[in-house]
Structure 1
Amino acid sequence: MSAKTAFTNVSYDLAGLLNDLKMGSIALPDIQRPFVWSNTKVRDLLDSMYRGFPVGYFLFWANAHDDRARQIGTENKQYKNPARLIIDGQQRLTSLYAVFNNQKVLDKNYQERQIEIAFRPRDARFDVCDAAVTRDPEYIPNISVLWEPEKTAFTVINQFLSNLKERVELSPKDEQRIAQNIERLFNLKSYPFTALEIEANVDEEQVSDIFVRINSKGVKLNQSDFILTLLSVFWPEGRKELETFCRQSREVPRSDASPFNQLIMPDPGQLLRVSIAHGFGRGRLQSVYQILRGKDPETGLFDPERRDRQFDTLKEAQAQVLKLRNWHQFLNAIIGAGFRSRELISSKITLLYAYIFYLMGRERYKIEEHDLQPLISRWFFATSLTGHYTSSSETTLDGDLARFRNIRNASMFMSELNNMIASMLTNDFWEITLPDRLDNSSANNPGLFAFIAVQNILGAGVLFSTKTVRDLLDPELRPNKKALDRHHLFPKKYLERLGIEDTQMTNQIANYALLEWPDNIDINDAKPSEYVPLVLKTRNINQEQWQKMCYEQALPENWQEMSYESFLPVRRKLMAAMIRKGYESLSRN
């Protein structure tokens, strides 16, 4: 006797699916990510459908009584309780809904977004609409207009041909091909889809499990997505809290009570990682999904009571993670380490992992802020500068957390964290490893960001200016152009004249200094020995002031007279020494 399947196979055409979405009888359950595809992926989907290629199936759940369902789109729906929920294929169906109904959807930043896809009928080419496409009479700039009410393929074709013939000469064969291609596009609403519909009597946990099993075969979801699925089924309020927090972190607040900040815009999955690490002491999420389902590690059975207890632990941890006082006090510690804007944060993961240790110190060990903040400043500085979490971040975090399982009090916590910092920032690191890592041209190099952070900490001045780096990196300033530019001390054009053309050489970190942008323009492509005396004279900068500027920018004495090859290794060592000095000033605070 064969096992009874939990689903049925149903055929739809696109028009029927879109109508059900518009009326609200199909909706997105609260167990999916609230993001839509990029316009490029939508374009590729439409191109595949137009050519008659298969684009995958949908997985629905027949359930008319889920009050937590989110509707696709932003307009009101006729049906408040949808009969079917989208479990798999949400990205495709949301994108199609937006295009064919000319409706806005919410993007990953929780903002309304319009998807505009263009079509060139002459050769049946799909493109993402841009200014060039809009000006080109060969294109229908936004194909959504084809399916507006009262429009037919006949009227669309005649109008397009009439407009095009005013600009371009068309042969009868051209007109026929264009008409056929527009009609084929217009008829995409007849495109057939297959849907697997899970029966209504399948419970929420099984639906969640089916969703995870399907998506775990590819790379669509990571472990945090799996756990967000469980939150949606067993604690929907918790997921809503995460999403609200993340949305508000991106919006300038109308009041002070907001997670908005200038350092990071977290995603729900990232904050969920913080909650799990804080609540369960685990960095690797692979086993947490089973823990939250209430799986007994000895029997392998799932126990609802065990599941409820685990969710109680998670709820308590998440409340502490989302507490605004904790959030902003932690961010103050990052700012205290010199990282005053998100442009200096090379890794969001490193920053959020530092938040875990702040929460441990604050909530578990009750450490006072005046002791905890400088400790967390040093911890973030060290982990960011060394790239502590760059490779195998989950495994590294898991090992770090394991060191605190037997820590009983605040003194032991602070001692252990300081020991870990000392093991990263050894004398060899400062004198050998860091200068070697500064031998790099990456614009996202942690050493470069640490150097700028140190200039913030030490109040260093801007080269050729009376202003400080701290002043011009104030995140509250929002000029049309950045107040500071990265300036090539040895200009690229000058180096090219010397035969040095490789960007990995010309864009070396040691070849950069921060300047006010008018200065950067004025210097242009002159060699240092020419532009330095000119700028010093023009700005009335005396020798004492110049020596101070060079010291604060980690520039060797008379660097403008050095060869480029001699200059780079000397400045790397000076930059490393300056970074060390700035870090050590944190230790004295």
Structure 2
Amino acid sequence: MSELKTCFKRVDYDLAGLLHYIDIGDIGLPDIQRPFVWSNAKVRDLFDSMYRGFPVGYLLFWASQAVQGVKQIGTGDKVHHVPSLLIVDGQQRLTSLYAVFRGRTVLDEDYQGRRIEVAFRPRDSKFDVADAAIRRDPEWIANISEIWSSGKSSRKLVNDFIHRLSEKAPLTEDEEEAISHNLDRLFDLQKFPFTALEIAPSVDEEQVADIFVRINSEGVKLKQADFILTLLSVFWDEGRKALEDFCRHSRKVPSQVGGASPFNYFIQPDPDQLLRVSIAFGFNRGRLKSVYQVLRGKNMDTGEFSAERRESQFRMLQEAQNKVLNITNWHQFLSSLVGAGFRGEKMISSQNALLYAYAFYLIGRNRFNVAEHILQRLIGRWFFFSTLTGRYSSSPETVMDSDLSRVRVVTDGDLFIRMLEDIMASELTNDFWGITLPANLESSSARNPELFAYIAAQNKLSVPVLFSHKKVPELLDPSLKANKKPLERHHLFPRAWLERQNINDLKIINQQANFALIEWPDNIDISDTAPTEYVPKIRSRFTDEAWKSMHEYHALPKDWETLPYQDFLQQRRKLMAAIIRRGFDSLK
């Protein structure tokens, strides 16, 4: 006989009951101050549907295996510190309802505070998003949160509104009756029925994720990081808040925050990304699945859950996260990227490579006490290498887990350095530089990691801008804000000219080898002129030595302007690979 059993039960609630359970902590709704992605218009539609008596979907809860009645790692004012139910599906709906009924502010995706203001016109039961005109019009209740958060009775609310409206124009008895009825119906939305499916506590997170994906009409996929962040909400909420504060401040210039700030020009991290760094640094794990189980307090041998084990693992996570969110660590790491020639997010093809490089920086600095001047170059090289080779582009967790497994047997700083250098040397062979890399440069992608490595190498080598006396690093500063970019990508063989030569395939026209960074006035002047025409004119502006050096560092073959286009591309790809190698070797 089949042993498959139903893994959920149906439970009915009214809205007031749901909100009460959230208030006392029985239902683990994450902090209202987390990014909320619904628009006010969508919240308006939710209330309109409820008002009309339409179904608005069921909720999906997961019964917690957490041990009750134990010391919590986080602090809070909930009656029950450990929720018995965690929300899997319906978080945006419950957050909307909780924010409106309790009059709470929410944060948008950019961590900017906003209030959900849904307006209601009792005369005709119309809902809308509040605007300036609605707020001036006495026909409207501009923010329905006042209905429930004011603490007034429904009778008091009705009388006050009718009195205010009567001051504008007298109301008939029928109008007063209709308005009173409609306001009572709005007030009674707190009795709206919801059906919840509660998944049994014996179901593991992979099955929960599978259930969620199968029943979610929007096809949103839950990730391991989502479950771990939920655990932080339950057992260490100040830790999750610290993650989110760090991410929020990384999106604001320092003057908006005051004092030290995680703001930078490379990445605006999300909490789950920094969580990955903490897990890699603190637990030597690239895969989040096993860490999730450990953080729940599970003994991987017996399968039993223990509050003591959970608290011990959360202490390890806390120590790791404190290092990850340390502003000095963060900016010292980012300076290693600058030292490797990378100047901002437009040169970052893989955020995974950046985040995992940060984990290795923390390991080298905090675990093995590698001298900062050595660590800076090492991590700069590692990032250059990992982004150039696309090391974390495919199956990043698996690759990182393999890398971290090597760290587990390392005992000192010298061995740590040697480990990373050995990994790099094993992949960056002469065949890579002479065959693989030129072949990879045969691409028309604007986000090609080899292209970014080429620009980083030019930046590191302080190369002069093509056809200019200025240096590439001077004009790659991401803090420069102008109407036009200081540097533009220029077709050395202009597109219009190539098309006149019957070369129309954009994949060939837009080859990386056909581009160079030049100042925008030169780009405009060259326009669609043939290289054999514009190059001699520009050549007259430079000495023989400057011209030769410029060609060398911009990987331009001798007399390139006279070469057949395909020959030019082939020769330049090899020269570009040589420049990338010189830039990388300069980091030793």
Range of TM-score over shorter length: 0.7 to 0.9
Give the drift of 1:371: 1.6
Give the drift of 1:495: 1.5
Contact 1:441/1:504 (<8 A) preserved: yes
Give the drift of 1:497: 1.5
Give the drift of 1:362: 0.9
CA gap of 1:206–1:241, structure 2 versus 1, over 3 A, is farther
Higher mean C-alpha displacement, 252-261 vs 355-364? 252-261
Unaligned 5+ segments in structure 1 are 71-80, 118-139, 154-186
Structure 2: distance between partners of 1:308 and 1:355: 26
1:200-219 to structure 2, matched below 5 A, reads 213=208, 217-218=212-213, 219=220
Q: Which residue of 2 aligns with 1:78?
A: none
Give the drift of 1:48: 12
Deviation digits for residues 45-78 of structure 1 (CA, Å, limit 9, x no counterpart)? 889969999653235899xxx98599xxxxxxxx
Contact 2:106/2:115 (<8 A) preserved: yes
Structure 2: distance between partners of 1:289 and 1:485: 46
1:131-530 to structure 2, matched below 5 A, reads 144=130, 150-151=138-139, 195-196=194-195, 213=208, 217-218=212-213, 219-254=220-255, 255-530=258-533
Structure 2: distance between partners of 1:569 and 1:55: 60
Give the secondary structure class of the aligned counterpart of 1:287.
Answer: helix
CA gap of 1:314–1:102, structure 2 versus 1, over 3 A, is closer
Structure 1: distance between partners of 2:521 and 2:24: 59
Q: Which residue of 1 aligns with 2:565?
A: 564
Q: Quick one: which amino acid aligns to residue 496 of structure 1?
A: E
Q: Quick one: which amino acid aligns to residue 243 of structure 2?
A: L
Give the secondary structure class of the aligned counterpart of 1:403.
Answer: helix
CA gap of 1:53–1:534, structure 2 versus 1, over 3 A, is farther
Give the drift of 1:42: 4.8
Q: Quick one: which amino acid aligns to residue 225 of structure 1?
A: D
Give the secondary structure class of the aligned counterpart of 1:560.
Answer: helix
Structure 2: distance between partners of 1:531 and 1:404: 54
Does 2:574 align with 1:579? no
Q: Which residue of 2 aligns with 1:172?
A: none
Give the secondary structure class of the aligned counterpart of 2:443.
Answer: coil
Structure 1: distance between partners of 2:496 and 2:45: 44
TM-score normalised over the length of structure 2: 0.75
Structure 1: distance between partners of 2:84 and 2:233: 17
Contact 1:382/1:424 (<8 A) preserved: no
Structure 1: distance between partners of 2:97 and 2:210: 21
Contact 2:467/2:518 (<8 A) preserved: yes
Deviation digits for residues 228-264 of structure 1 (CA, Å, limit 9, x no counterpart)? 1111111111111111111111211134522222211
Contact 2:282/2:320 (<8 A) preserved: yes
Give the drift of 1:97: 9.0
Aligned residues: 510
Give the drift of 1:206: 6.1
Structure 2: distance between partners of 1:41 and 1:576: 52
Deviation digits for residues 15-46 of structure 1 (CA, Å, limit 9, x no counterpart)? x999x79x999998326893333769959988
Contact 1:320/1:359 (<8 A) preserved: yes
Q: Quick one: which amino acid aligns to residue 586 of structure 1?
A: L
CA gap of 1:43–1:90, structure 2 versus 1, over 3 A, is closer
CA gap of 1:212–1:527, structure 2 versus 1, over 3 A, is same
Contact 1:243/1:268 (<8 A) preserved: yes
CA gap of 1:297–1:24, structure 2 versus 1, over 3 A, is closer
Give the secondary structure class of the aligned counterpart of 2:286.
Answer: coil
Structure 1: distance between partners of 2:103 and 2:508: 49
Contact 1:510/1:568 (<8 A) preserved: yes
CA gap of 1:515–1:210, structure 2 versus 1, over 3 A, is closer
Contact 1:438/1:572 (<8 A) preserved: yes
1:30-179 to structure 2, matched below 5 A, reads 30=30, 34-37=34-37, 42=42, 56-58=57-59, 68=76, 87=87, 88-92=89-93, 105-112=106-113, 144=130, 150-151=138-139
Deviation digits for residues 76-111 of structure 1 (CA, Å, limit 9, x no counterpart)? xxxxx9x99993323345568999999984222212
Structure 2: distance between partners of 1:191 and 1:571: 70
Contact 2:487/2:517 (<8 A) preserved: yes
Q: Which residue of 1 aligns with 2:158?
A: none
CA gap of 1:3–1:49, structure 2 versus 1, over 3 A, is closer
Give the drift of 1:412: 1.1
Contact 2:99/2:105 (<8 A) preserved: yes
Contact 2:457/2:584 (<8 A) preserved: yes
Contact 2:29/2:91 (<8 A) preserved: no
Structure 1: distance between partners of 2:437 and 2:424: 15
Give the secondary structure class of the aligned counterpart of 1:217.
Answer: helix
Give the drift of 1:379: 0.8
Identity across aligned pairs (percent)? 51
Structure 2: distance between partners of 1:528 and 1:43: 58
Structure 1: distance between partners of 2:535 and 2:475: 22
Unaligned 5+ segments in structure 2 are 64-73, 119-125, 142-185, 214-219
CA gap of 1:533–1:105, structure 2 versus 1, over 3 A, is farther
Give the secondary structure class of the aligned counterpart of 2:248.
Answer: helix
Contact 1:100/1:144 (<8 A) preserved: no
